[in-house]
């Protein structure tokens, strides 16, 4: 190779890595992980006074079968917790993780953002879900984005030009995760299709909700979450919300870092219709709206009504039990099973690649295991 070609190659490489710093970071870290809070700056979500979980009289009396244990280990689980009747029925931790270890929620954070939107509407910071996004984000007051409503963003039907691809180092998802100009990136998005028509899962939608929240409330997302949610549900430990850069904005679509016991409080809050210790933390009617399927939307592939997603919450009916859940990459789950008065939390490094009914098959593993644990208790 000639000296000139080598110099040109070096110059091109320098340009790529200087203008696309996120790409370099993606190459260095290669794979996202539940411990990524260690590589990002974070803003603390402060906890307040703590009320410990009570333990069931049947606490940890259940033993996982060899098959279930092997499946849990194959998926590199670090925590599995079952709450029933407001008490810890079962919990287990692996790989040196404990009941106080920070772990990345990944997209389960989207459901937390939804709760905060409900609080902001109740407090009058946001008018309603039918408000145009441009009312709070003036950068969207243009011919392309002007008709976008908050409801469209909540239901993942914004039609914005976002590509959700975790394996592609050039994708917007990778740039959002490793990049340092997240707000600028979101404000440049344009609608490429009619909003409020098709469900298309976009992490950018949740980040846009966070920008609305920050501008409407005048508070950072972490501070608002601390004041309106984390302290009120008596979380034991401070949480961490990872930022795009030091002093920057929260990666709202992911990266809320906490532990299984405190994540379970989010589930219990939803199970309690938004109340905690007799105080209404999240409006009950907001949860009713949030947990209804957005069946006015169609799936893009099959053109069928959406029956699995609401306002940033997933839902599935399994074994006759209607279940609502927050769901994150690599198998981070907060399940709420109202008819069993149950919350299940699973955290780990992997989720199943196999899909059943278009869902990662490990969802059924964690639900079935929780159901068996409850059945064993009730049979005693």
| Residue 26 within any structural domain of the chain | no
The Cα 252–Cα 266 span in angstroms is 16
For residue 227, give the 3-state DSSP assignment.
helix
Q: Any idea how long the chain is?
A: 380
| Residue 7 within any structural domain of the chain | no
The closest alpha carbon to 372, from 68, 99, 38, belongs to 68
| Residue 15 within any structural domain of the chain | no
| Residue 16 within any structural domain of the chain | no
Question: How far is the first Cα of the chain from the last one, in angstroms, to the nearest whole number?
Answer: 77
Mean pLDDT score, 86-99: 98
The closest alpha carbon to 237, from 103, 100, 347, 105, belongs to 100
Going by pLDDT thresholds of 50, 70 and 90, the confidence category of residue 10 is very low
| Residue 18 within any structural domain of the chain | no
| Residue 5 within any structural domain of the chain | no
| Residue 55 within any structural domain of the chain | yes
Contacts of 215 (CB under 8 A, 6+ apart): 136, 137
Mean pLDDT score, 56-64: 96
Instruction: Give the CATH number for residue 329.
Output: 3.40.710.10
Going by pLDDT thresholds of 50, 70 and 90, the confidence category of residue 302 is confident
Mean pLDDT score, 85-104: 98
How confident is the model over 197-228, as pLDDT tens digits? Answer: 999 999 999 999 999 999 999 999 999 999 99
How confident is the model over 267-298, as pLDDT tens digits? Answer: 999 999 999 999 999 999 999 999 999 999 99
Contacts of 119 (CB under 8 A, 6+ apart): 228, 229, 281, 282, 283, 286
pTM beyond cutoff 0.85: yes
Going by pLDDT thresholds of 50, 70 and 90, the confidence category of residue 24 is very low
| Residue 148 within any structural domain of the chain | yes
The Cα 17–Cα 45 span in angstroms is 33
User: Residue 174 corresponds to which tokens in the numbers above?
Assistant: 């990778």
State how many domains the chain has: 1
Res 31: pLDDT: 76
H or E segment at 225? helix 221-225
Among residues of the chain, what percentage have pLDDT more than 90? 84
How confident is the model over 164-192, as pLDDT tens digits? Answer: 876 666 678 888 999 899 999 999 999 99
Contact 78, 101 (CB under 8 A): yes
Lowest mean pLDDT across 15-29, 266-280, 283-297, 351-365 = 15-29
> Domain of 60?
36-379
Residue 168 CA, distance from chain mean position: 20
User: Residue 142 corresponds to which tokens in the numbers above?
Assistant: 């243009």
């Amino acid at each position: 190779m000639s000296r000139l070609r080598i110099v040109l190659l070096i110059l091109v490489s320098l340009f790529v890595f200087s203008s696309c710093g996120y790409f370099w970071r993606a190459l260095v870290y290669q794979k996202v992980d539940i411990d990524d809070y260690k590589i990002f700056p974070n803003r603390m979500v402060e906890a307040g006074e703590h009320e410990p979980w009570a333990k069931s009289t049947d606490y940890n009396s259940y033993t996982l079968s060899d098959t279930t244990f092997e499946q849990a280990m194959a998926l590199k689980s670090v925590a599995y917790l079952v709450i029933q009747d407001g008490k810890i029925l079962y919990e287990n931790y692996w790989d040196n993780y404990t009941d106080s270890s920070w772990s990345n929620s990944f997209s389960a954070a989207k459901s937390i953002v939804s709760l905060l939107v409900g609080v902001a509407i109740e407090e009058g910071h946001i008018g309603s879900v039918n408000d145009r996004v441009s009312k709070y984000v003036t950068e969207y007051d243009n011919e392309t984005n002007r008709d976008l409503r908050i409801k469209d963003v909540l239901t993942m039907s914004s039609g914005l030009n976002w590509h959700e691809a975790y394996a592609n180092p050039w994708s917007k998802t990778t740039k959002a995760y490793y990049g340092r100009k997240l707000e600028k990136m979101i404000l440049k998005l344009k609608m490429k299709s009619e909003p409020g028509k098709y469900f298309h899962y976009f992490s950018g939608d949740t980040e846009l909700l966070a920008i609305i929240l920050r501008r409407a409330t005048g508070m950072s997302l972490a501070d608002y979450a601390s004041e309106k949610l984390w302290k009120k549900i008596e979380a034991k430990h401070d949480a961490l919300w990872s930022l795009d850069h030091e002093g920057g904005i929260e990666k709202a679509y992911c990266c809320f870092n906490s532990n299984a016991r405190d994540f379970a409080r989010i589930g219990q809050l939803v199970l309690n219709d938004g109340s905690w210790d007799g105080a209404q933390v999240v409006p009950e009617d907001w949860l009713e709206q949030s947990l209804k399927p957005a069946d006015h939307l169609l799936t893009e592939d099959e053109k069928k009504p959406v029956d699995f997603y609401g306002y940033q919450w997933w839902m599935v009916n399994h074994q006759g039990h209607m279940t609502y859940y927050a769901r994150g990459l690599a198998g981070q789950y907060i399940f709420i099973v109202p008819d069993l008065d149950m919350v299940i939390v699973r955290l780990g490094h992997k989720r199943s690649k196999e899909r059943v009914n278009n869902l990662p098959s490990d969802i059924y593993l964690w639900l079935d295991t929780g159901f068996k644990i409850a059945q064993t208790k009730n049979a005693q």
